[in-house]
Structure 1
Amino acid sequence: MKKLLIFTLVALLSIFFIDRSYSKQNQAELQQMLISKIEEQQLVNNEIKVNFEELFDFKWDKVYVFTPYTSIKEVNNQLGFTWLGAKSTGIDRRDDVNLIVFVENNQVAQYIELPRSYGDIVAKGEEAFEINGS
């Protein structure tokens, strides 16, 4: 029985770390896709328009953008639920990124930390955003 418990614990920890590693890799790939899209476009009136629905193939029904120094409480208020991963982004104490959060069925599907060196994200309606060049 003790061996089964230890095996189960090791298996669960392995799954947790593999999932976390995959999530970080996936987040980095999404970030690079967005950065590549920004870099390939020309600034028009110091703005770039990016269609997230065309760029990303994962499912989401809402997208939120959080600017530097947004409190974790405000992130959770905007999302309408408590996102346990919000604190690990450090958005409440960082000034170098905008945080883009994609939500599906009141759960975070994906998120991207976009360095501000690529511009600041400005909401243009409920689901439309522009990136203002820096």
Structure 2
Amino acid sequence: MKKLMVFISLILMLVGCNQDDMQDRTGLEKSVQSIMMDEDISEIHIKSLTDFDWEKAYLITPYSDQKSIEKQIGVSFKDKSNMNMRDDIYLIVFIQDDKVIQYAELKRQGADFSVGEKEYLTPIDDVIKIDRYKE
């Protein structure tokens, strides 16, 4: 029985270690969805929707593969959204201290997103432009 308890404890510890800090991204995703419902809004100030510190945020376009995502953001990132096969979402990946601290899926909802000519967003320059189209 003692061996079973030790085994279960080890499994729970391993599962806990494999959980990343990026589990609670649903609030951010829901906030963006809410903004998208108002067709008069043409930009998102992403800093106002985050409750964590970040230095850079990268907008990842549909159909981006793992290699191009990592090249764009400059750090290792496991794409759990399978962006290389999707055109229904964009990803926004947040970086702090040269590591990914959060990401969110931004549903397109009849729009494209853009950060203009910038390589990435910062908390001071945090605007994502919304280009709406009719489906």
| TM > 0.5 | yes
Alignment of 1:15-26 (within 5 A): 15-16=16-17, 19=19, 23=23, 26=24
Alignment of 1:112-123 (within 5 A): 112-123=104-115
Pair 1:42 & 2:34 matched: no
- Per-residue deviation, residues 49-77 of structure 1 (Å, max 9, x unmatched): 11111221211110111111111100001
User: Between the two proteins, what is the percent identity of the paired residues?
Assistant: 26
Choose the corresponding residue for 1:82, options 53, 76, 80: 76
Of Structure 1 and Structure 2, the greater helix share is in 1
For residue 15 of structure 1, what is the amino acid of its counterpart?
G
Aligned length: 125
For residue 67 of structure 1, what is the aligned residue in structure 2? Answer: 61
Contact 2:90 2:108 in 1 (8 A): yes
Calculate the TM-score normalised by the size of structure 1: 0.78
Q: Which runs of 4+ in 1 moved over 6 A?
A: none
Contact 2:62 2:84 in 1 (8 A): yes
Instruction: Identify unmatched segments of 5+ residues in structure 1.
Output: none
For residue 10 of structure 1, what is the aligned residue in structure 2? Answer: 11
- SS of equivalent to 2:83: coil
Following the alignment from structure 1 to structure 2, what is the Cα–Cα distance between the partners of residues 41 and 60? 28
For residue 92 of structure 1, what is the amino acid of its counterpart?
N
Calculate the TM-score normalised by the size of structure 2: 0.77
Alignment of 1:118-133 (within 5 A): 118-124=110-116, 125=118, 126-127=120-121, 128-133=127-132
For residue 50 of structure 2, what is the amino acid of its counterpart?
F
Q: Which has the higher contact order (CA 8 A, sep 6+)?
A: 2
Output the aligned Cα RMSD. 2.6
Contact 2:59 2:93 in 1 (8 A): yes
For residue 31 of structure 1, what is the amino acid of its counterpart?
E
For residue 124 of structure 2, what is the aligned residue in structure 1? Answer: none
For residue 107 of structure 2, what is the amino acid of its counterpart?
P
